[in-house]
Structure 1
Amino acid sequence: MSSLHWAALLVLAVIAGAVVPFQSVINANLGRGLGHPLWATLASLLVSILVLLPIILALRLPLPSLAFIRKAPLWMWAGGAFGVCFISLALMLLPKLGASGFIALALAGQVAASLVLDHFGLFGLMERQMTLPRVLGALFLVAGVVLIQFSGSPARSVVTAS
């Protein structure tokens, strides 16, 4: 893989991470407006479908294989449930923890789970041993979470328009 290709992948990964706090705070406000976080979760997923369908149609993607759909193991369909879990928890926790606190804690959970997934090569991933430097990196991240969440000025309430 060329260094330019590698750099593009890194930038795209950073962008993917950067949109998460925006999604979370926007959905949290939507949840307050709609009366419950689960309504905002549903709205978010419906908007996702409305955005994705025209892209799929514009790219003229072929329909998925019915044979694969019939034989795919149940765990392959769990991604949607994990999406509902993340969106709903973000809606409920972000207003209480703040954007930086929630994202830092969510990132710490992602790194911990990723270390396990990589170590055991789960779900078809290439095995990447859980080495001391990798574990130390995760611990440094947790230390960063503690600093982000428990340092700085006290939280103050912001009034939003209804």
Structure 2
Amino acid sequence: MSTVHWAGLLLLAVVAGAVVPFQSAINANLTRGLGHPLWATLASLLVSIVVLLPIMLAMRLPLPSLAFISKAPLWMWAGGAFGVCFISLALMLLPKLGASGFIALALAGQVVASLVLDHFGWFGLVERQMTLPRVLGAVLLIAGVALIQFSAAPGKGLVAAG
């Protein structure tokens, strides 16, 4: 793969991560309006469908294989349940932890789980051994999470020297 291609992929991954705190903060407000995190989760997922269907129709995607759908193992359908879990927990925790605290802790969980998934090659992933540098990177990330979450007083921000 060319360097430009890799740079594009890396940028898209950063964008994917950057939209999460926006989604969580917006959905937290939706929770207040709808009265419960599960109503906001449902609304968020319904909006996802409303946005996604016209895109799929415009791309003229063929229908998926019914043979695959009938033979796919149950674990392949768990992604939707994990999505509900993430969105609902974000709606409950973001107002209490703040955007940076929630996202930092969620990211720490993602990194640890990713190391395990890669190490064992679960769910068809390519095995990537859990080496000391990779574990050290996760430990450093978790240390950063602790700094982000536990060093800021509520309502206090950076103050410019004047």
* TM bin (shorter chain): over 0.9
Cα distance in 2 between the residues matched to 1:13 and 1:145: 20
Give the drift of 1:115: 0.1
Specify the code of the residue in structure 2 equivalent to 1:144.
G
Cα distance in 2 between the residues matched to 1:106 and 1:68: 32
Q: Which residue of 1 aligns with 2:82?
A: 82
Q: Which residue of 2 aligns with 1:33?
A: 33
Q: Which residue of 2 aligns with 1:57?
A: 57
Q: Which residue of 1 aligns with 2:120?
A: 120
Cα distance in 2 between the residues matched to 1:7 and 1:35: 42
Cα distance in 2 between the residues matched to 1:83 and 1:138: 23
Specify the code of the residue in structure 2 equivalent to 1:112.
V
User: What SS does the aligned partner of 2:130 have?
Assistant: coil
Specify the code of the residue in structure 2 equivalent to 1:101.
G
Consecutive unaligned residues in structure 2, runs of 5 or more: 156-162
Cα distance in 2 between the residues matched to 1:117 and 1:133: 17
Q: Which residue of 2 aligns with 1:3?
A: 3
Consecutive unaligned residues in structure 1, runs of 5 or more: 157-162
Cα distance in 2 between the residues matched to 1:38 and 1:32: 11
Q: Which residue of 2 aligns with 1:155?
A: 154
Cα distance in 1 between the residues matched to 2:47 and 2:15: 20
RMSD: 0.9
TM-score of the pair, normalised by structure 1 = 0.95
Give the drift of 1:30: 0.2
Q: Which residue of 2 aligns with 1:130?
A: 130
Provide Cα deviations, 1:54-92, integer angstroms capped at 9, x if missing partner: 000000000000000000000000000000000000000
Q: Which residue of 1 aligns with 2:97?
A: 97
* TM alignment of 1:6-21, pairs within 5 A: 6-21=6-21
Q: Which residue of 1 aligns with 2:44?
A: 44
Q: Which residue of 2 aligns with 1:24?
A: 24
User: What SS does the aligned partner of 2:154 have?
Assistant: coil
Provide Cα deviations, 1:4-24, integer angstroms capped at 9, x if missing partner: 100000000000000000000
Specify the code of the residue in structure 2 equivalent to 1:17.
G
User: What SS does the aligned partner of 1:134 have?
Assistant: helix
Give the drift of 1:41: 0.1
Identity over aligned pairs, percent: 86
Cα distance in 1 between the residues matched to 2:26 and 2:37: 11
TM-score of the pair, normalised by structure 2 = 0.95
Specify the code of the residue in structure 2 equivalent to 1:21.
P
Provide Cα deviations, 1:19-40, integer angstroms capped at 9, x if missing partner: 0000000001100110000000
How many equivalent pairs are there?
Answer: 156
Specify the code of the residue in structure 2 equivalent to 1:56.
M
User: What SS does the aligned partner of 1:106 have?
Assistant: helix
